[in-house]
Structure 1
């Protein structure tokens, strides 16, 4: 799908589902990683993640378009356009938009390492995704000092579980 096809799709969905015109720009943004789309408050433009269309198909993509159009129309009308607002949730349910999009595989970076800290006094284990300063933190159980027990690659930690 090209940019102009996307623009036509968004305008069509806006007319059919909301009975209101979409008067701004709709574009693909391949830099979006963890979200299906984005409504830009200042310009009123919409951006969409092209991977959502490629991986999950047109039906799921239209639900994302409806979600972003809910933000768009409510914001322009001066009503509650944020995710937590009742007006947003109600309109989203009426038009059949998706509350959350499916996650694209490989879109979230995970740490390569898992750090295992243990208490020197009571041997309480503390697995962590991030490295921490053992001089600064103490055991939550007994207040003892912590030490770095092991640093495992994520693959090794997954195999040992």
Structure 2
């Protein structure tokens, strides 16, 4: 881990302002420790209380990073250490946008993710409303919105094996 977490640790009873303050302090420490091309103070920092699939995001305009968004639900389920990992993940995006104009999860991202002890994808932290299940291989795809495949699974095939699909309600959608 690039920077000790305990100094910045907050608990789920933190206010939004405390959460964002700790997140920015931790981000500055990571940037300084790893010499990333990120100006934490020039970025807007926000909390998403609606996101269900992403733990964080970098919003950018014309390849210029503008905002780092962190998801409160991820904090509630994974704690401060989980959010710290997401902060490192988002800092990599900002760094690569600044240095290479590349906000993807490509090879450069993967190399830095390894160095900063973070992953390319986050763990699921909320239950999907629907599961798309392949009749052939049993592969399950979570869906949080009533998309076309949820409405008409018979019109689609499994991307893994080509099998038929069916929809199952998630735990909070039954």
Normalised by the size of structure 1, how large is the TM-score? 0.63
Q: 8 Å contact 2:56–2:68 — kept in the other structure?
A: yes
Using structure 2 for the length normalisation, give the TM-score: 0.59
Tell me how far 1:105 sits from its aligned partner.
3.3
The reply on whether 1:55 has 2:68 as its aligned counterpart is no
What residue in structure 2 maps to residue 29 of structure 1?
A: 48
Rg (Cα) greater in structure: 1
Alpha-carbon displacement from aligned partner over 1:82-111 (angstroms, at most 9, x marks no partner)? 112x221112211112322111232x2216
* 2:92 pairs with 1:70: yes
Cα displacement (A) at 1:153: 7.0
- How much is the aligned-residue C-alpha RMSD, in angstroms? 3.3
Where structure 1 has 5 or more consecutive residues not aligned to the other structure, the ranges are: 117-127, 134-139, 141-150, 156-161
Q: Take 1:153 and 1:8, find their aligned partners in 2: how far apart are those partners?
A: 41
Name the residue aligned to 2:139.
none
Who is 2:129 aligned against?
109
**Residues 153, 32 of structure 1: alpha-carbon distance in 2 compared, 3 angstrom cutoff:** closer
**Which secondary structure does the structure 2 equivalent of 1:76 belong to?**
helix
Partner residue of 2:67?
Answer: 45
Counterpart CA distance in 1 for 2:28 and 2:94 is: 13
1:98 counterpart SS class: coil
Cα distance in 1, alignment partners of residues 167 and 95 from structure 2: 49
Distance 1:89 1:15 in 2: 21
Deviation at 1:5, TM superposition (A): 2.3
Q: Larger deviation: 15-24 or 50-59?
A: 15-24
- Partners of 2:129 and 2:169 within 8 A in 1: no
1:90 equivalent in structure 2: 111
Report the equivalent of 1:158: none
Count how many residue pairs are aligned between Structure 1 and Structure 2: 125
| Unaligned ranges ≥5, structure 2 | 1-13, 33-37, 136-148, 156-161
